[in-house]
Amino acid sequence: MKRLAFLLFAAMQCARAQDAGESEHVAPDPPQSRVHAMPYHEMADMMGMDDRRNFGKFMLDRFEWQEASGDGRLEWDATAWYGGDYDKLWFESEGERGNGTTQDSRTELAWDRILSPWWNLRLGARHDGGIGPSRDWAAFGVAGLTPGFFDVEARVYLGENARTALRLSAHRDYLLSQRLVLQPEAELSAYGKDDPERLIGTGLSDVKVGLRLRYEIRRELAPYLGVRWVGHFGDSADYRKAAGDVAHEWLWLAGIRAWY
Amino acid sequence: MLTRRTFVTGASAGALWSFAGRGAIAAAGSARELAGPHFDLTVDYLPVNYTGSARNAVAINGQVPAPTLRMRQGDEVSIRVTNRLREQTSIHWHGFIVPADMDGVPGLSFNGIPPGATFTYRFKVNQSGTYWYHSHSRFQEQVGLYGAIVVERRGGERHRADREHVLLLSDWTDHDPERIYATLKKQSNYYNFHKLTAREHLALPPAERRMWSSMRMDPTDLADVGGYAYTYLLNGVTPAANWNAAFTPGERVRLRIINGSSMSFFDLRIPGLELTVVAADGQDIEPVTVDELRIGTAEVYDLIVEPRDAAYSIFAQAMDRSGFARGTLAPRAGMTADVPALDKPALLSMADMGMHHEGMVMTDHAPLNHAPAENGPIVDMRASMAMPRLDDPGVGLRDNGRRVLTYADLATLGGPIDARDAAREIELHLTGHMERYIWSFNGQKFSDAEPLRFSHGERLRVTLVNDTMMTHPIHLHGMWSEIVDPRGAFRVRKHTVIVQPAQRLSYLVTADALGSWAYHCHLLYHMEAGMFREVQVG
């Protein structure tokens, strides 16, 4: 009935249009063939269009030589991810090498899940290497972009023998020009239990504050110069001093940032 | 070493084609013309060099742009398309009202054209005007698969001209489009080299600075991909190579302007000439005279100009002012005119972001209702206020001292195709997340959304509200979008509708086309990232 009414209406329209000599519109014929019903992945393949595709990124955020009172060391901080808009596999590696050995390293593997427009959840595992016995942790964290464009991360770790740890970090880019970028950063670590073999004491163990000035030759490649202050506190500072190290120091640094 | 300048403007000349026009009108374009009603098109790779770097385009019959197809209203056309690529291809007849299985969208209309295969499109051409065609497979449109269609009106043009030229604008890239899309997913502001520096950010009025800071967005974000990756072409010719066309002084010259780009809006003007706009998206309109017009991706405008005995630059700057397409209209070969400087890139305002200005007087408008999914993680903003603003020329064109075309200036001759009022309304919000580079309707990507269902024969109102900071060209396949003013009166019939940030715009649709149709943002990477819906008419 509805269709009949429409056909009647269409015929009237047509006649009216011819009277006016204006409207050229003619409804198209029904299709002679239809595409068979198919699941999303098959359709995406046929359409050559897929909003669920996975991507991967490797980011060497810091690869730098640090120099403090004649003593030099290499530090790196790399991230890699692979996945879609909602879920990603997240990998991080950070550490320092000096005197021919890896002094300290942190490796994390996590499931990164979109939580809200500006926050992601990261659940995974962390492995600490370098000097001293290695440590393994379960990691629970969030990462996000706050108002004011601060990239922040907060993570809580649970290890063997009831060890706990907290790690907070933040950085922000200030554009001095379209290619010259000043990046302040800060990082804080705290532990719930003494770990003298790794020179870690209970409470706030260390704070790092840095300022890096990079020049983006292209977006993916930027050499930089910077300065960093590293301070150890409480028992962590005492363990370091006992080991012949300093509790806090200023570092000059030069490095390269690259991603793909 | 290629300098940045030569990269943007193009270092080498593209091939120029000329031909004799048919009939009384002397026509010339850089793409060779094919006359109907039977067409043979072969899709194949084509080595090209626009910037000094050799690349492979995807071309039809060895041409970028593809040959202009000339048809006559009333023709029963057949178009044989042979695929010589190593991947599937397809051709969509943009703005054509054809049966759903002839619409050329793989997965919705048909199964696509596999490598080595030939598919024959057959349909009756009931309409007339300027249209275009392009691939609907993957990113082939970005690498050259687009061309113009001219349908001669039965009984002659309403707005007569002595000569005509097709001006097809596009955005060529030496980059692999797959790489461009992946890059946007990894760093969405990668291609923006007009970002506010820290100092410029500090110089903003405090209220704006706070807004941008809290929204985590940049007021310079006018295009996702710009001159860093794109060389803008006019009829397949770089600005440096300067496409040119002839006229005889005293002639009325019709310019059929098509934006066949993948991601670019152009602001076009021809300094020294008034532009009389006589058709929009192939539909004749009440002539309106302007100095400049913005043409969104996939939009089409026909202009008539009356040049004197002088050379004129056709200047189409990208909306983000990162480059331009350019050509020359001149009575004799070898003449050139000054090319204007690019305008300063504009900043989005608080009104663009759908935010209330401090101290602004609130007019009576209904509060916006957002779909539940818009509160999800893949939507970064929701306008708190959206206005019809049909008379707003858009960001970067406001108060520039020139008469700029707006949608309020457009009035399609002959009225709507259907005199009925809408029996129901569908409200769709254009949504996205710039930083994550996810685009959607109502907070749902294509893969997460159910098809929209139109009842066969119904007349319905589609209201679009742009909750993003970008301007989107929205294209409904198979059915006309008849824009109405805020009082509901018919204004203009279009196939591609630009929706500005924080704009609320309505059009009526007669669902007289049975089948499955694509409905999407015509920015290629927005469509890929989820700003796409299937419409089922049944």
Residue type for position A120? N
Q: How far apart are CA B538 and CA B535, in angstroms?
A: 10
pLDDT of residue B352: 86
pLDDT of residue B166: 98
Q: Is B232:B267 a contact under the CB 8 Å cutoff? A: no
| CA distance, residue A257 to nearest chain B CA (Å) | 14
Q: How far apart are CA B361 and CA B349, in angstroms?
A: 17
pLDDT, tens only, B397-408: 999 999 999 999
List phi, psi (to 5°) of A181.
Answer: -125, 130
Asked if A34 is an interface residue toward chain B (Cβ–Cβ < 8 A), one would say: yes
Q: Which residues of B touch A147 (CB under 8 A)?
A: 213-216
Beta strands in chain A (DSSP E): 55-68, 71-83, 87-98, 101-116, 119-130, 135-146, 150-159, 164-171, 174-175, 180-191, 203-215, 221-232, 248-259
pLDDT of residue B10: 52
- Please tell me the least confidently modeled range out of A39-48, A138-147, B26-35, B427-436: B26-35
Which helix (H) or strand (E) element contains residue B481? strand B481-484
- Picking from B17, B49, B44, B48, the residue whose alpha carbon sits closest to that of residue B33 is B17
Contact between A149 and B216 using a beta-carbon 8 Å cutoff: yes
pLDDT of residue B351: 82
Chain A residues 114-133 within an 8 A CB cutoff of chain B: 114-118
Residue B6: pLDDT band (50, 70, 90) is very low
pLDDT of residue A5: 53
Q: Which residues of A touch B510 (CB under 8 A)?
A: 27
Closest CB to A219 among B187, B418, B457: B187
- Picking from B248, B19, B230, B60, the residue whose alpha carbon sits closest to that of residue B148 is B60
Average pLDDT over residues B456-463: 98
Q: Which residues of B touch A9 (CB under 8 A)?
A: 420, 457
DSSP 8-state code for residue B372: G
Contact between A46 and B112 using a beta-carbon 8 Å cutoff: yes
Neighbouring C-alpha atoms within 13 Å toward the C-beta of B478: 30
Q: Is the pLDDT of residue A229 over 90?
A: yes
**Please, what is the average pLDDT of chain B?**
92
**Please, what is the average pLDDT of chain A?**
92
SS3 assignment, position A2:
helix
Average pLDDT over residues A109-127: 98
Q: Which residues of A touch B186 (CB under 8 A)?
A: 55, 57, 259
Q: How far apart are CA B479 and CA B467, in angstroms?
A: 24
Q: Is the pLDDT of residue B358 over 50?
A: no
Neighbouring C-alpha atoms within 13 Å toward the C-beta of A257: 20
Cis status of the peptide bond prior to A133, with omega within 30 of 0? no
pLDDT, tens only, B288-342: 999 999 999 999 999 999 999 999 999 999 999 999 999 999 999 999 999 999 9
Residue B11: pLDDT band (50, 70, 90) is very low
Q: Is the pLDDT of residue B249 over 70?
A: yes
pLDDT, tens only, B97-111: 999 999 999 999 999
pLDDT, tens only, B61-104: 999 999 999 999 999 999 999 999 999 999 999 999 999 999 99
DSSP 8-state code for residue B477: S
Q: Is the pLDDT of residue B193 over 90?
A: yes
Asked if A161 is an interface residue toward chain B (Cβ–Cβ < 8 A), one would say: no
pLDDT, tens only, A167-222: 999 999 999 999 999 999 999 999 999 999 999 999 999 999 999 999 999 999 99
Contact between A47 and B107 using a beta-carbon 8 Å cutoff: yes
Residue type for position A245? D
Average pLDDT over residues B474-487: 98
The Cα-based distances of A71 to A112, A227, A228 in angstroms read 37, 15, 14
pLDDT of residue B368: 85
Q: Which residues of B touch A48 (CB under 8 A)?
A: 87-88, 106, 112, 137-138
The Cα-based distances of A111 to A84, A90, A102, A108, A114 in angstroms read 12, 6, 27, 10, 10
Residue A165: pLDDT band (50, 70, 90) is very high
Chain A residues 10-29 within an 8 A CB cutoff of chain B: 10, 13, 16-17, 20, 22-29
Mutation test of the interface with chain A: which of B142, B175, B185, choosing the one with the most A Cβ atoms within 10 A?
B185
Contact between B456 and A3 using a beta-carbon 8 Å cutoff: yes
- The CA-CA-CA angle for residues B285, B268, B161, to 5°, reads 45
SS3 assignment, position B202:
helix
Closest CB to A55 among B186, B380, B513: B186
- N-terminal to C-terminal alpha carbon distance within chain B: 58
Q: What is the ipTM of this complex?
A: 0.92
Residue B21: pLDDT band (50, 70, 90) is very low
Contact between A117 and B379 using a beta-carbon 8 Å cutoff: yes
DSSP 8-state code for residue B512: -
| CA distance, residue B79 to nearest chain A CA (Å) | 17
Beta strands in A2-70 (DSSP E): 55-68
Q: How far apart are CA B16 and CA B9, in angstroms?
A: 17
pLDDT, tens only, B147-184: 999 999 999 999 999 999 999 999 999 999 999 999 99
Contact between A145 and B435 using a beta-carbon 8 Å cutoff: yes
